[in-house]
A and B are shown apart, each in its own frame.
Chain A
Amino acid sequence: MIITSRIARYLLIFLTVFILAAIVSQYYWMAFEKAIFPPKVYYSPISENFVITKIRNRRYYIQDKEGNNLTRKDFEQLLPFITYKQLLYKGIMPDTIQNIPVDIHKIRANSFSIILKPKEITAYHIPLAPLIESAPNGPDLQLPDDMFRITNRIEFLNCQTNRINEEKSKLFSEVLTKKGFVFPAKKMFGNPSVRKSFDEGYFIIDSKDQLFHLKRIKNKPYCKKITLPKGVKIKFMKIRELNMKEFYGIAVSENNRLFIITYDNYKFIELPSEGYKSSEMQIKFTGDLLYRVLTLSAKDSVISFAMNKNYKVIDNFFEKWEGNNKTAAGIFFNNFFPIKFSLTDRNNSNVNFYLEYNYTFIVNIILTIIALFVLLKYFKRKPVTQILDLAIIIFTGIFGFVAVLLIRDEN
């Protein structure tokens, strides 16, 4: 009985330590966390310099790369490809930009903005997908009546009847096999939306890590095997059908390299990816008639690359700021609470044990001495039996202290 109750007690202490850590981590940061908005970075075709907007100490700044403050008016005039509506409204839209005559339709067709968050990469997907008809009879795309899965062949399931469409499954499986696809599929990436002007189907990775492009054209399969650059294993792809038809989307490799896959025979063009970590950094890739800007932002820094239309880097911008660990609240937390514990993470869509341990030496020692005093004086215990209790406090600090003193040994 004594053994049982001892074990039960330590299990309860163990749970209490982590639950207290979870409660403190959550509410402490709710109370004291400072919101940090990463700067937004643009590249101006007028000044050929970066334009950066940011919020610092609750004030909004517009600056250039050198840190000179700009006004709202400057911002509008420096970025005509973004603010063209406003400039047209005021009647101050320039006639030419870098000797190119301004054409609103062209500006619109060539502007894009793609954001890829770390959460999207880890998100769970039910392994089914609709294969939209890429060459519809009318102007609009329509969701098909079936969805496909790729197991030991590709199977189309009719949504109404929940049955496999054998004929279509056979047709598509044969074509995939003929192109060298090795079943089953590991991952598939697409943009299953009908709110876009055309459809590019799916990019599928087979069990041998080969990449294939699968589309449905006039109800017939279109399949193409894509040659990957040497040594590249694809982790994630963000497919976006853009009217300019320059590339299919962004690919992130297992070792954090970034590529775009172009319409030019699926050629891979590597984007700058210095310091990029797919698990914690957000990608923002924007473009206009003349430039491309790739911004990689982490929680305490941002790096931007301005490129010309041939994806040659022409300038870059880097900024680092102090994260929440450096605020008074952060310093106090790190010196007082040894465990930061949560089941959720901003950069990951999965629930997991997100644990950060930092040894708060001084506080732990002080608490251990207090505990030793309390245990000896008030609970009149022999010190020998308390060694494990004290060891818990030495390692888990304040959480162990509260748990050990609340949940007393009563033998």
Chain B
Amino acid sequence: MYKSLAYKEWLKVRWFFIGALLIETVFLFSLFINLRALLEFNAARDIWNSIVVKKYVYFNQIKFIPLILGFMIAVAQFYTEIQDSKLKLTLHLPLKENSSLLFMVGYGFILLLILFSFLVIALIIGSSVVFPAEIVKAMLLTIGPWLLAGFTVYFVVANLFIEPLWITRRAVILIVGAEFISLLLLSKGYAAYKNILFPLTIITMIFGYIILLAGFRFKRGAK
């Protein structure tokens, strides 16, 4: 059953997934070509100095990429599901309660994990060529909350699609989600979130768990 469910999810998201990979590749290219030009036309010591002393964030272009990817995958997976309440069929598959919905959300989560890993690994490799480990580590601590924002967007948008109740629930999820995402994207320089990355990760996962509540009401057909 899960195998066919996975196949169904793949059919829905495959073009979006490939599109997401393309977007990442384009932005990574632009980032590294830009970096190459910077290093070509300036002394390397000036670039290092502006990063270390003046806290210039050389990878700022990719700040909103996780958001875009999270949104894309959520739309791909759940937009078709809510047309003519198709999700109801999925939820009535002979599986344990919640399992099919959890499976779908988990599937999307893993796709995002793959997309973000690609992004992070490319950034690590690209940065390590020209910068020492200290700068790479600062880069990772800085993009951490951006990636969490990407997962949160995915969970929140999925939730908005599944949720049948307009004012009370959708509005609440939208406001709470949007504010949380904006709190993850404050421009505070390198590694500003380092002390609270773990609790923020837990909160992000809570957004994933809350989707079950929407699924529960969807199944019941709440209006």
Contact = CB atoms under 8 A, between A and B. Distances in A.
B132 A351 contact: no
B49 A162 contact: no
Given A126-B190, A343-B183, A351-B188, A12 B213 contact: yes
A136 to B, nearest CB: 15
B192 interface: yes
Contacts of A370: none
A interface majority secondary structure: loop
B44 A160 contact: yes
Interface residues of B, number: 50
Contacts of A350: 188, 192-195
Contacts of B94: none
B98 to A, nearest CB: 6
Interface in B97-134: 97-98, 129-132, 134
Given A22-B183, A23-B179, A352-B196, A130 B49 contact: yes
Contact of A349 (B44, B134, B192): B192
Interface in B166-223: 168-169, 172-173, 175-176, 179-180, 183, 186, 188-196, 199, 203, 206-207, 209-210, 212-213, 216-217, 222
Interface string A127-154: 1111000000000000111110100000
Interface stretch (A2-10, A68-76, A232-240): A2-10
A320 B28 CA distance: 53
B210 A8 contact: yes
B172 A162 contact: no
Interface residues on chain A, size class: 35 or more
Interface string A28-65: 00000000000000000000000000000000000000
Interface in A273-297: none
Contact of A8 (B49, B175, B196, B209): B209
A15 interface: yes
Nearest to A1: B97
A128 B176 contact: no
Contact of A130 (B45, B130, B189): B45
Contact of B222 (A23, A125, A147, A410): A410
Contact of B45 (A1, A23, A159): A159
Nearest to A149: B134
Given A8-B210, A406-B172, A162 B129 contact: yes
Contacts of A5: 212-213, 216
A165 interface: no
Nearest to B179: A19
Interface string B36-54: 0000000111111101110
A159 B172 contact: no
Nearest to A402: B172
A126 B134 contact: yes
Nearest to B188: A351
B168 A128 contact: no
Contacts of A344: 186, 188
B206 A127 contact: no
Interface of B: 43-49, 51-53, 97-98, 129-132, 134-135, 138, 145, 168-169, 172-173, 175-176, 179-180, 183, 186, 188-196, 199, 203, 206-207, 209-210, 212-213, 216-217, 222
Interface of A: 1, 4-5, 7-9, 11-12, 14-16, 19, 22-23, 123-130, 143-147, 149, 157, 159-160, 162, 192-193, 343-344, 349-353, 406-408, 410
